[in-house]
Amino acid sequence: MRIPIHRDGWPYIGAFCAANAVLFLLSPWLGGIFAPLTLWCVLFFRDPDRVTPDGDGLITSPADGRLLPFGLAVPPQELGMGQEPRLRLSIFMDLFNVHVNRNPADGTVMVISYRKGRFFNASFDKASEHNERMSARIRLKGGGDGGDLAVVQIAGLVARRIRSDLVQNQSVRRGERFGIIRFGSRLDVYLPPGAKVLVTPNQHVKAGETILASFQ
């Protein structure tokens, strides 16, 4: 069975496989103990295809994982979206989830901003404010000035690398890959006013497939 792998994963997989081979040469017992870690590394960087739902105004999950409790929060200041709190949907990705991120909606990237920070556990609310993050402000197709949403990649307790391929003024399509975080992390989505939420807290979601909300 072929497992699609994200290109960022090959150096890590190669290193794990090389270390595992050396351990097998030294001791089959040690090699056997390390083998599950090598398999985990392969699975961590898996990048399966997804079937993105059709329809106008749909906002899909940008990540695989579990939805944390919903709340109102002000979007990151660097995105220039004002001080009015918005509904924030947060997705916690554990070490066994697919970590490839996908665009939540059709639109245009208005702002992209990186901010250094700390590395609290990504399941904590304070991670949204204090952790290292990469933020993007996306103007939804046909939404006008009031149709902007924010999607924020947040480093977790052991995550030390956030990658985003988004650039300012780029047109994006719902379900397209745009980045990856390693290892263990969180994504926040700040919905535009008037969006109708279609998921519930603690629900497990899939990037590019699960519909989080609709916006007309």
Closest CA to 23 of 13, 32, 36, 14: 32
Q: Is 123 a residue of the active site?
A: no
Single out the catalytic residue among 90, 128, 185, 214: 185
CA atoms within 13 A on the CB side of 156: 22
Rg (CA), the chain: 18
Q: Letter for the amino acid at 118?
A: R
**CA-CA distance, 156 to 183, in Å (whole number)?**
7
Bridge partners, 72 (sequence order): 87
| Helical pair 10-26 and 28-44, crossing angle rounded to 10 deg | 170
Which residues make Cβ contacts (< 8 Å) with residue 11, sequence separation at least 6?
A: none
Name the one residue in this structure whose structure tokens are 């519930």.
200
Q: List active site positions.
A: 185
